[in-house]
Amino acid sequence: MTIDRSLVGNRSYWQETTDLNAPSVPLPARAAHVVVGGGIVGSATAYYLAKQGHDVVLIERMHPAHGATGRNGGFIGTGAAEGYIGSMQRLGKKAAQHIHELTILNARLARELITVEGIDAHFREPGTLNLSISAQDHAEAAASIAARTADGYAGELLDRAAVQSMVNTPLGEEIVGAAYFPGHALIHSGRLVRGIVDAAVRHGAKLCIATVERIEQRDGHPVVVTDKGNVLTQSVVLGLNAWSRQIAPALNGIITPVRGQILNTAPTKPVFAQGMGTDLTPTGEYWQQTLDGSIVLGGMRAAATNRDENLYDIGITDEVQNALDTVLPRLFPALKDLPITRRWAGLMGFTPDYVPVVDAMPDMPGVWAAGGFCGSGMPFGIMAGKYLAQAAVEMKTPAEVAPLSLNRPTLKK
Ligand SMILES: Cc1cc2nc3c(=O)[nH]c(=O)nc-3n(C[C@H](O)[C@H](O)[C@H](O)COP(=O)(O)OP(=O)(O)OC[C@H]3O[C@@H](n4cnc5c(N)ncnc54)[C@H](O)[C@@H]3O)c2cc1C
């Protein structure tokens, strides 16, 4: 079926329901620190720098939350993108657990930042349900929960009746049960980023709208070259995720852009309190019901040619959107007639080992970058911002983020 493009506009639900035109100022010629990218990483880095009294300029080319953060599913979970068992197998227990702990720290920092700065970002922590749709799925869910709980992390295996008691619509026949992760958070991504940028500005950060073209070096210091002028600085933090390789050549072949697509339904009665996920396809599907009752649902990349990998196009496609249309009717037959009111896409950044990068850039003195969150950046973004702010001040990558370094063994080409 040809998808109705009049629903698109290429703006997400989060972007359409937030005023993202945060006040900006002209680019200064000098700043102690420059942060590039107005997503979760850039806004959090600027926030932590400004809060500690440092002079910082946040440069974004469009408006805050224009990138993946403003187009995502609004989940803040814990754990690595590949899942608990998958990351243990790939990285070894020590590194995998270290990364898991970083995401738990991120959850605490997110709660603190939102509370301390009074950000009304519809933050709630109802947990997530990952639905099993076959016996094999459920056996894998059981193994994952067993591994997590053995290491002291929360998780519960639910049978079909328990899932039905949490979901306010009849379950489709395929649903066997679920893995439940208590405490995982849901958020309004636009309101979150706007709130963090406003807090950074209140603490003294400057927001400048400009496109960074490249970073040069002058007398041992980075110069950020933009379409609105140049900024001489001591340190630069790049929060560019999918676009990282355009400015930091060392990330070429390390962070690859991948498109994710989403639809949004009209508001309906409360059905889902938890964040929801399943694996109808190998690339997964996820959805949440927002506080106005509409459902934001994404995934189904497997329906796309080449899984929508390695492209910079944020247009939607019929193949993925048609596949997204089938998810709710298949799993919850009573929701089959929910009207679709919006469709959009965004760009994620993927690394070969499914672990993000937070590190100094080789051959670019004074420049750090974070990205490559593999579709799961919200469990890392605020923590990354905190450690990147520390790196920018101390001119040294904090040891805490060593498992996210460019030199980790699983990233060697
Ligand atoms: C469809 C979709 C669904 C997702 N769902 C989830 C989810 O539910 N939970 C989760 O954890 N993760 C999810 N993710 C991933 C998550 O959103 C990202 O990992 C995270 O938002 C990355 O944040 P960031 O700050 O690094 O990058 P971004 O949010 O992409 O920000 C980068 C910013 O840099 C700006 N920029 C780019 N180039 C330049 C330049 N040259 N000069 C100046 N500015 C520039 C862009 O405009 C953009 O605002 C999803 C992603 C997508 C696309």
- Over its length of 413 residues, how does the chain's per-residue pLDDT go in tens digits? 776 665 555 899 999 999 999 999 999 999 999 999 999 999 999 999 999 999 999 999 999 999 999 999 999 999 999 999 999 999 999 999 999 999 999 999 999 999 999 999 999 999 999 999 999 999 999 999 999 999 999 999 999 999 999 999 999 999 999 999 999 999 999 999 999 999 999 999 999 999 999 999 999 999 999 999 999 999 999 999 999 999 999 999 999 999 999 999 999 999 999 999 999 999 999 999 999 999 999 999 999 989 999 999 999 999 999 999 999 999 999 999 999 999 999 999 999 999 999 999 999 999 999 999 999 999 999 999 999 999 999 999 999 999 999 999 999 75
Which domains are present in the chain?
6-72+190-254+353-411 (3.50.50.60), 125-185+256-350 (3.30.9.10)
CA of 168 to the centre of ligand 1 (A): 32
Cα–Cα distances in angstroms (integers) from residue 280 to residues 121, 250, 390, in the given order: 30, 36, 41
Which of ligand 1's atoms lies nearest the C-alpha of 346?
53
The beta strand positions in 227-364, using DSSP E, are 229-238, 256-265, 275-278, 285-289, 295-299, 340-350, 357-360
Q: Whose CA is nearest to atom 35 of ligand 1?
A: 37
Around ligand 1, the residues with Cβ closer than 6 Å are 36-42, 59-62, 66-69, 71-75, 211-212, 239-243, 260, 262, 298, 346-348, 371, 373, 375-379, 381
Amino acid at position 50, single letter = A
Which of ligand 1's atoms lies nearest the C-alpha of 378?
11
Q: Among 13, 69, 99, name the best residue to mutate to test ligand 1's pocket (greatest count of ligand atoms within 8 A of Cβ).
A: 69
Q: Whose CA is nearest to atom 20 of ligand 1?
A: 377
pTM: 0.97
8 Å CB contact between 371 and 242: yes
Q: Where are the alpha helices (DSSP H) in 117-243?
A: 135-150, 160-166, 189-202
Phi, then psi, of 300 in degrees rounded to 5: 60, 25
Q: 55-82 burial, b if ≥16 CB within 10 A, otherwise e?
A: bbbbbbbebbbbbbbbbbbbbbbbbbbb
CA of 161 to the centre of ligand 1 (A): 37
**Max intra-chain CA distance, the chain:** 67
Task: Give which of 48, 19, 146 is closest to 384, Cα–Cα.
Answer: 48
Helix (H/G/I), strand (E/B), else coil: 291 = coil
CA of 178 to the centre of ligand 1 (A): 28
* Cα 46 to Cα 197: distance, rounded to the nearest angstrom: 8
